[in-house]
Amino acid sequence: MKHQHLMWNIGLSDLDAARISEFAGAGYTMQTVPADALPSPDDLEREAPCIIWVAASVQAALAAHPRQLRQHLELVPRALVLDVSYTQNDLEQALDLDFSEIVRHPISRKRVLTVLRRAVETRNVHQDILRMTREILLERELLARKNDLLSFVVTFLTRTTESLDIADILINAREGFGKLLPVTGLHAILWPPSPTEGAHDAELFIGAYRQTEAHAAWTRLLLESAHRLARHDVAEYRTTALTHDEPSPLPEAGRVMMLPLGNGKNTFGAIAMALAETPALGKDQAQALDSVMRHLTLALRNAVVYREIKLQADHDALTQLHNRRSFDHRLAEEVDRHQRYGMPMTLLMLDIDHFKAVNDTYGHPAGDAVLREVAQTMRNACRTTDFAARYGGEEFCVILPHTDGKCGRIFAERLRKRLASSRVEVDGKTIAVTVSIGLATLSAAAPLSPERLVCEADGALYAAKAAGRNIVCEAQEPCQRANALRA
């Protein structure tokens, strides 16, 4: 069926309306519009008339409407139909109202068809311009969206490569994901990229307060994801808190996005995000998410490798305590900080009693087991602010920040007793372990250099060994005498 063009009629007599409809033919239909109730812009867009026929008798009524209420009608060709008795004033008013055509009586077929042809051509041009304008606006909107996504990707890459600290990377990633998704929390789990057969260890990063239902729920979810993705159970795990301004909600079905880190056998972790609502991603958004996940995977893998290399550089391979180089650096920092603010600090030096006899009697593997046992006991005894290190051979040391001599001695005695009560089993044989401990304290009244503080503690250690071993000695005078306290 051929498309019919709609014509609006404002104020025409029935005779004029019928005559115009007759001359226009079957391809046109006429609809009457009251002059005192102009159609709205929505009506104009919905019905899309090709022309508006207006009787001269209603010109004044149209002009009486405020221009903002009738200016949308100027988007459509309008023909003014003058009656036989029109005046010069009618023509001037027609010009003021910007009519595109003027038709005088008698109304002829030729004139009507000419007006309609021009109106349809004008409307078609207008529609073409409108369509092109909409296409341009759509292209601009699409381009703006692509620019927004590109900006999101670039910003995400920049933030996630600012640091080699895993927690910092994840905190920055949460902020970045928030530009694309309604993120209310981010959590993660990492495990060795190539775990051995059986259970493996993992590290969890939880963006929820400890000892809360949310913390426990996200922990369970991450451990389940590790079992599903790595196809191995998690034997042991440690948890690192991710600092966020707002507490994370509980995981809800349909509002959790789980994203693996890596692919297939190379998967080494997963990101779990809590969302305010179920996400509906478009193609471009999904591609942007895939892109940033690839870069986030690389950033986290690099951070893991960096941490392992740094661990190897700063830690003793056998005991996993800090090594001598790391200890010297930390001691210099702590001495400078404590002396600057006038705070006390205590240094312990430990030596395993009769360690050479252990190696000679049970063999070096047994000696290694004893070293590991001493290191583990030290780790368990230390606070998070303390710094334990292997000084060399069977000698160890502990830096106790903000600790005076009295508290340092209490800590040393507690550590000595723990080691004295421990036993190392090697090839069915039980080895007892004891240590001698020397301690020296840095105070505002007695400032010391790092080297002098080590000398003080080392002198106290030798005094403890000379006094019979399995003893804590406190330095009283620089490298000369110590007060031995036999347990």
Strand, helix or coil at 315?
A: strand
Question: pTM score, two decimals?
Answer: 0.59
Both 401 and 480 in one domain: the answer is yes
> Alpha-carbon distance 401 to 334, whole Å?
7
Instruction: Find the CATH number of the domain harbouring 66.
Output: 3.40.50.2300
3-54 tens-digit pLDDT: 689 999 999 999 999 999 999 999 999 999 988 888 888 888 888 899 999 9
Secondary structure, 3-state, 387-446: EEEEEECCEEEEEEECCCHHHHHHHHHHHHHHHHCCEEEECCEEEECCEEEEEEEEECCE
420-460 tens-digit pLDDT: 999 999 888 999 999 999 999 998 777 789 999 999 999 99
Which has the higher per-residue pLDDT, 336 or 480?
A: 336
Both 173 and 237 in one domain: the answer is yes
End position of a domain, from candidates 287, 312, 337: 312
Q: Judge whether 189 and 239 are in contact, CB under 8 Å.
A: no
End position of a domain, from candidates 255, 289, 312: 312
183-190 sheet: strands from edge to edge: 234-241, 200-206, 183-190, 269-275, 256-261
Q: What is the extent of the structural domain holding 98?
A: 5-130
Planar angle of CA 149, 152, 157, nearest 5 degrees: 130
Name the residue among 59, 126, 128 with its Cα closest to residue 91: 59
Q: Give the DSSP per-residue string, 135-186.
A: HHHHHHHHHHHHHHHHHHHHHHHHHHTS-S-HHHHHHHHHHHHTTTS-EEEE
pLDDT of residue 56: 86
> Alpha-carbon distance 382 to 372, whole Å?
15
Sequence-separated (6 or more) residues with CB below 8 Å from residue 422 = 373, 377, 433
pLDDT of residue 465: 94
Is 142 contained in some domain?
Answer: no
Instruction: Find the CATH number of the domain harbouring 237.
Output: 3.30.450
Is 288 contained in some domain?
Answer: yes
Q: Judge whether 299 and 213 are in contact, CB under 8 Å.
A: no
Both 331 and 238 in one domain: the answer is no
Both 306 and 329 in one domain: the answer is no
Both 268 and 404 in one domain: the answer is no
Both 79 and 216 in one domain: the answer is no
Give me the number of domains the chain comprises: 3
